[in-house]
C-alpha cells in the first residue's frame, strides 16, 4: 500500500487536484500547504486507497477528515445512514393533493357570473370560438393553474439536473471558505485593520478586492445605533480547532470613511456591494437583529432579500429560509456563494439532491458550530422531514438557529394568490420544535386579510411591521380593449394590436406577455415571431428544463425581446430592464396582477403595464376556477370568484385612478388621489390610447365604450384606428413616462398622440 502511494505521489506532478481544490478554499492559508498535502496522504492511508477522485464527494470527505483530525475524532460520519434515509426518502416538495369536493350545484356558479359570463360562455362555445369547455383548452387551463405550475417548477427534472452539481456552498464548504475569512480570524483582522470589534463582520472582507471598499460609499456617518445589540458572529469554530493556523491574510487598512461607518453600512457595502440602503431596509434589518418577529411588505424588486441576508451574515448561527421554489432557492444560494466579497456560506436541501449531497448538508448542520449562514428549504421539506426537524431543533437548543425566514409569505394564506398548503404547517412546527426562534415573513403582495392570515398562521409575536408603499410611480398602467375578429387584411385583430404595441416600443425593449394557457403562449410567440418579426419565445411549465433555461437565458441576455409566458414565468425573475409587461388576458386576481406587472421597471425607470381585456375571456378563467378534471371545493371556487370579480372591476374601471385601485387593494391609502399621468384613467391621452371613449350619459356620468362600438359607423377604419390607438398610447407613454408625472409630460403625451392619430 505504502509503495503504491509513493508511486502515485511520484507520478503526480504538483498537488493532487483534490488537494488543490481544498487549498483553493483557504485551507492552505490556515493549515499550510504542506500540512494539507501531508494530511491528504494520511487520509488516503486511513481509507486504504492509493488515490481518490477529485469530485465533490471526495472533497467533502477530505474536508470532513481535516476537521476530524483537528478535533481528534473518528473518521466515520455520525448517524449518516439515518440522516440520509430520512432526508432522501421524504417527498417533501410535492404539494399536498388538494381536497377535492364536488360542487353541489354548478348552476350556482353560473349565476355568480353576475353580468352574463355564463351566457357568454355558452355563446362562445356555440360559435366555436375560444370554447372554454373544449377538452384541449380545458387541459391547458389546468396546466396553467398555480398549483400545477408551482409543482412542476420546484421539482422538475431540470432542477434535479441542476442539483447534480453540488451546491457551491457545499463544494467549498463553507468551512473551508470561512476558515479563510471566518469570524474567528476576524478579531485579528479587526485589530489590524483599524478598530472594529473582535469577532465582527471584518471576517467577511479579507478577500474584498483592494480599492473597492470606500470609493462609492455614501454610508451614514452617524455612529452605529445598534452596535451593542448586534449578535455578531462568534469565532469560527473551525479556526479554533485548527492546530496550526497560518498567518491570516493581511487586510488593507480601513479608510477613515470606513471607520466611521456603522456595522450595517459596512456590511452592506463590503459584503453585498451596496453603497446605501433602500427605503426601510435599514429599519427592517435593525429590528431583525434585535430578534423581533418582523413582517415585511415590500414591492417586488424592493430589496427584501437583503433584509434577511445581511442579518444572517451578522448573526450567530444559521438562518433558515423557507422559499417556495427550488429554482429560486438555487439562484439565491448561487448568488450568495458568488458574492464579490468571496461568498457567503449558504446552502439548500432538496429531495432532488443525491444522498451524499443531502448528507453533507446534514453533517454541516450537526457540527458544533456550523459555518453555513443560510439554509434554504421548501415548505414541503420543512413540514415533512422528521430528520430535518430534529436537526433544526438541535440547532435551536445550541442557540444556533438564528431565525426562521418565510419568503413569499402570502403563500401561507388561502387568500394569497399562490397558496401552498404546507406553508400552513410552518407556525405549528415552529411552536412545537423551536418555540421562541425569531420569525420573519416577507412578501410583495398581501391584502389586509392575507396579512392577518400570515400573522396568525406563522404565530408572529409582538410583530414589527414594515411596509414600503405599493405605489410604483414609474409604471404606467393601462387597460386596452382586446378585440377579437379579423382585420380587413384577414388577420386577427388582437394579435395585430399586440404586434403594434411592441413595435411602438424602443428598439429591442424587453418585455413579457402573460397568457392564460400553454397553448396560448406558443401560438402568440409564434405569431409575434412570424408575423411581426419580433424575437420571441414561449415559456411554460410544460417545457423541458433545458428549454426553459434556454428561453429564460436568451431573454435575460437580450437575444430574445419578448417572453410569452404563463404565470410559471415569475418568481425569481430578476431582470431589471423589463420595459413592458402585457397581460393578454385577465390575471386571476389583482394581487397576481400586481405581482406579475411589477416585474416591469425593477431598475426604477419608466415601464408600461398593459392589460388586454375582453369580457369573453372571463369564462375561461371561471372554467379554470371550477377545476377541470379535478373539481375544486366550493370554498376555493368562491374565493377565486371573488378575486376574479375584483380583477374584472379593475379592467372596467373608468373613474378611479388605477394606481389608487391597486394601492388601496392592499390596504394602503392613496393620498395623492390621482396619479395624473401614470394610468389611462387619469391621463386622457392614455385613456384614448387604451381604446376607451368617454360618453356623456344623460346623468353626466362617463361610461366606458369600447373603441369598436365607437367606430362602428366607420367601416373599414375601425381596426386600423384601434391599432393605431394602442400603439400611440405607447408613444404617448414614452413622453409621459420620461416626465414621470410632471405637467409637461402630459402635454407632450397628448401632442404625441394627436400626431400619431392624424397620420
Ligand X SMILES: Nc1ncnc2c1ncn2[C@@H]1O[C@H](COP(=O)(O)OP(=O)(O)OP(=O)(O)O)[C@@H](O)[C@H]1O
Nearest approach, Cβ of 145 to ligand X (angstroms)? 21
Return the number of the residue (370 or 598) whose C-beta is nearest ligand X: 598
* Sequence-ordered list of residues with C-beta below 8 angstroms from that of 673, at least 6 positions apart, any chain: 657, 660
Nearest approach, Cβ of 279 to ligand X (angstroms)? 9
440: β partners: 294, 405
Residue 140 contacts residue 520 (beta carbons within 8 Å)? yes
Place of cell 369580457: 615
401: β partners: 318
Residue 89 contacts residue 355 (beta carbons within 8 Å)? no
Long-range contact set of residues 545-549: C-beta below 8 Å, sequence gap at least 24: 545/156, 545/157, 545/158, 545/159, 545/161, 545/162, 546/158, 548/158, 549/158
Nearest approach, Cβ of 217 to ligand X (angstroms)? 12
Rounded to whole angstroms, the Cα distance separating 362 from 358 reads 6
Rounded to whole angstroms, the Cα distance separating 25 from 56 reads 13
Nearest approach, Cβ of 315 to ligand X (angstroms)? 18
Return the number of the residue (268 or 347) whose C-beta is nearest ligand X: 268
Nearest approach, Cβ of 472 to ligand X (angstroms)? 12
Rounded to whole angstroms, the Cα distance separating 740 from 153 reads 37
Nearest approach, Cβ of 84 to ligand X (angstroms)? 32
**E-strand spans in 174-333?**
294-297, 318-322
Task: Write out the DSSP string of 689-747.
Answer: HTTEEEEE-TTS-EEEEEHHHHTTTSTTTHHHHHHHHHHHHHHHHHHHHHHTT-HHHHH
Nearest approach, Cβ of 467 to ligand X (angstroms)? 13
In 165-246, which ranges are continuous DSSP H helix? 168-171, 174-181, 183-192, 237-241
Residue 195 contacts residue 259 (beta carbons within 8 Å)? yes
Nearest approach, Cβ of 361 to ligand X (angstroms)? 24
Return the number of the residue (565 or 681) whose C-beta is nearest ligand X: 565
Report helix, strand or coil for 537: strand
Return the number of the residue (272 or 527) whose C-beta is nearest ligand X: 272
Nearest approach, Cβ of 377 to ligand X (angstroms)? 17
Return the number of the residue (269 or 722) whose C-beta is nearest ligand X: 269
296: β partners: 442, 466
Return the number of the residue (56 or 328) whose C-beta is nearest ligand X: 328
Nearest approach, Cβ of 574 to ligand X (angstroms)? 5
Nearest approach, Cβ of 287 to ligand X (angstroms)? 16
Return the number of the residue (36 or 296) whose C-beta is nearest ligand X: 296
Nearest approach, Cβ of 406 to ligand X (angstroms)? 13
Residue 719 contacts residue 483 (beta carbons within 8 Å)? yes
Return the number of the residue (37 or 411) whose C-beta is nearest ligand X: 411
Rounded to whole angstroms, the Cα distance separating 306 from 627 reads 38
Return the number of the residue (181 or 304) whose C-beta is nearest ligand X: 304
The side-by-side arrangement of strands in the sheet containing 401-406 is 346-348, 374-377, 318-322, 401-406, 439-443, 294-297, 464-467
Rounded to whole angstroms, the Cα distance separating 687 from 702 reads 12
Plot region of 667 (φ>0 → left; ψ -120 to 50 → alpha; else → beta): left
Q: Contact residues for ligand X (CB under 6 A)?
A: 274, 277-278, 281, 298, 300-306, 444, 574
Comparing CA positions, the residue from 509, 569, 500 lying closest to residue 535 is 509
Return the number of the residue (9 or 473) whose C-beta is nearest ligand X: 473
Return the number of the residue (400 or 444) whose C-beta is nearest ligand X: 444
Rounded to whole angstroms, the Cα distance separating 254 from 754 reads 59
Q: Which grid coordinates are listed for 469?
A: 408603499
Q: Which residue is nearest to ligand X (CB)?
A: 303
Amino acid at each position: 500500500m505504502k509503495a503504491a502511494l509513493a508511486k502515485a505521489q511520484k507520478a503526480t506532478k504538483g498537488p493532487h487536484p483534490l488537494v488543490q481544490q481544498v487549498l483553493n478554499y483557504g485551507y492552505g492559508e490556515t493549515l499550510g500547504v504542506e500540512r494539507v498535502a501531508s494530511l491528504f496522504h494520511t487520509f488516503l492511508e486511513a481509507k486504504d486507497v492509493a488515490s481518490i477522485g477529485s469530485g465533490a464527494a471526495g472533497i467533502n470527505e477530505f474536508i470532513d477528515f481535516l476537521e476530524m483530525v483537528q478535533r481528534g475524532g473518528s473518521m466515520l460520519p455520525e448517524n449518516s445512514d439515518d440522516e440520509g434515509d430520512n432526508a432522501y426518502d421524504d417527498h417533501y416538495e410535492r404539494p399536498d393533493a388538494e381536497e377535492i369536493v364536488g360542487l353541489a350545484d354548478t348552476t350556482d356558479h353560473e349565476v355568480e357570473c353576475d353580468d352574463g359570463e355564463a351566457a357568454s360562455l355558452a355563446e362562445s362555445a356555440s360559435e366555436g370560438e375560444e370554447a372554454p369547455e373544449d377538452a384541449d383548452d380545458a387541459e391547458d387551463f389546468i396546466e396553467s393553474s398555480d398549483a400545477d405550475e408551482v409543482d412542476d417548477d420546484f421539482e422538475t427534472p431540470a432542477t434535479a439536473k441542476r442539483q447534480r452539481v453540488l451546491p457551491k456552498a457545499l463544494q467549498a464548504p463553507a468551512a473551508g471558505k470561512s476558515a479563510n475569512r471566518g469570524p474567528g480570524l476576524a478579531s485579528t483582522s479587526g485589530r489590524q485593520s483599524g478598530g472594529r470589534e473582535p469577532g465582527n463582520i471584518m471576517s467577511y472582507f479579507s478577500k474584498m478586492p483592494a480599492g473597492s471598499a470606500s470609493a462609492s460609499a455614501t454610508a451614514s456617518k452617524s455612529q452605529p445605533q445598534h452596535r451593542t445589540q448586534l449578535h455578531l458572529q462568534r469565532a469560527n469554530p473551525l479556526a479554533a480547532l485548527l492546530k496550526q493556523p497560518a498567518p491570516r491574510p493581511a487586510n488593507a487598512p480601513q479608510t477613515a470613511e470606513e471607520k466611521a461607518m456603522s456595522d450595517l453600512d459596512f456590511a452592506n457595502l463590503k459584503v453585498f456591494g451596496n453603497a446605501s440602503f433602500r427605503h426601510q431596509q435599514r429599519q427592517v434589518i435593525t429590528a431583525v437583529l434585535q430578534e423581533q418577529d418582523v413582517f415585511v411588505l415590500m414591492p417586488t424588486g424592493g430589496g427584501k432579500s437583503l433584509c434577511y441576508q445581511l442579518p444572517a451574515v451578522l448573526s450567530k448561527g444559521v438562518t433558515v429560509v423557507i422559499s417556495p421554489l427550488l429554482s429560486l432557492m438555487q439562484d439565491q444560494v448561487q448568488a450568495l456563494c458568488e458574492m464579490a466579497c468571496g461568498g457567503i456560506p449558504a446552502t439548500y436541501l432538496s429531495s432532488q439532491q443525491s444522498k451524499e449531497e443531502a448528507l453533507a448538508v446534514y453533517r454541516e448542520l450537526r457540527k458544533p458550530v456550523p459555518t453555513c449562514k443560510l439554509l434554504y428549504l421548501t415548505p414541503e421539506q420543512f413540514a415533512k422531514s422528521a430528520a430535518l426537524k430534529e436537526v433544526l431543533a438541535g440547532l435551536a437548543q445550541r442557540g444556533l438557529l438564528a431565525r426562521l425566514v418565510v419568503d413569499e409569505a402570502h403563500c401561507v394564506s388561502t387568500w394569497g394568490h399562490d397558496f401552498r398548503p404546507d406553508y400552513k404547517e410552518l407556525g405549528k412546527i415552529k411552536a412545537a420544535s423551536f418555540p421562541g426562534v425569531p420569525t420573519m415573513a416577507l412578501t410583495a403582495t398581501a391584502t389586509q386579510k392575507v396579512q392577518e392570515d400570515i400573522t396568525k398562521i406563522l404565530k408572529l409575536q409582538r410583530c414589527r411591521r414594515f411596509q414600503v408603499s405599493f405605489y410604483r410611480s414609474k409604471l404606467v398602467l393601462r387597460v386596452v380593449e382586446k378585440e377579437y375578429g379579423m382585420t380587413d387584411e384577414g388577420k386577427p385583430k388582437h394579435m395585430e394590436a399586440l404586434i403594434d404595441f411592441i413595435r411602438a416600443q424602443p428598439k429591442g425593449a424587453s418585455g413579457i406577455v402573460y397568457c392564460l394557457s400553454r397553448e396560448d403562449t406558443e401560438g402568440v410567440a409564434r405569431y409575434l415571431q412570424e408575423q411581426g418579426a419580433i424575437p420571441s419565445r414561449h415559456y411554460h411549465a410544460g417545457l423541458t428544463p433545458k428549454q426553459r433555461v434556454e428561453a429564460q437565458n436568451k431573454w435575460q441576455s437580450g437575444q430574445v425581446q419578448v417572453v410569452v409566458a404563463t404565470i410559471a414565468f415569475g418568481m425569481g425573475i430578476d431582470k431589471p430592464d423589463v420595459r413592458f409587461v402585457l397581460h393578454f388576458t385577465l390575471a386571476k386576481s389583482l394581487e397576481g396582477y400586481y405581482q406579475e406587472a411589477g416585474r416591469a421597471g425593477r431598475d426604477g425607470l419608466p415601464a408600461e403595464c398593459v392589460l388586454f381585456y375582453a369580457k369573453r375571456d372571463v369564462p375561461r378563467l371561471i372554467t379554470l376556477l371550477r377545476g377541470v378534471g379535478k373539481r375544486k371545493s366550493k370554498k376555493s371556487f368562491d374565493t377565486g370568484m371573488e378575486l376574479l370579480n375584483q380583477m374584472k372591476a379593475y379592467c372596467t374601471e373608468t373613474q378611479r385612478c388605477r394606481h389608487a385601485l391597486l394601492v388601496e387593494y392592499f390596504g394602503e391609502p392613496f393620498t395623492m388621489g390621482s396619479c395624473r399621468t401614470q394610468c389611462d384613467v387619469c391621463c386622457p391621452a392614455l385613456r384614448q390610447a387604451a381604446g376607451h371613449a368617454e360618453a356623456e350619459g344623460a346623468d353626466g356620468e362617463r361610461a366606458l365604450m369600447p373603441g369598436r362600438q365607437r367606430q362602428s359607423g366607420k367601416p373599414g377604419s375601425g381596426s386600423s384606428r384601434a391599432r393605431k390607438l394602442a400603439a400611440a398610447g405607447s408613444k404617448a407613454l414614452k413622453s409621459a413616462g420620461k416626465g414621470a408625472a410632471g405637467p409637461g409630460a402630459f402635454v407632450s403625451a397628448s401632442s404625441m398622440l394627436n400626431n400619431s392619430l392624424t397620420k
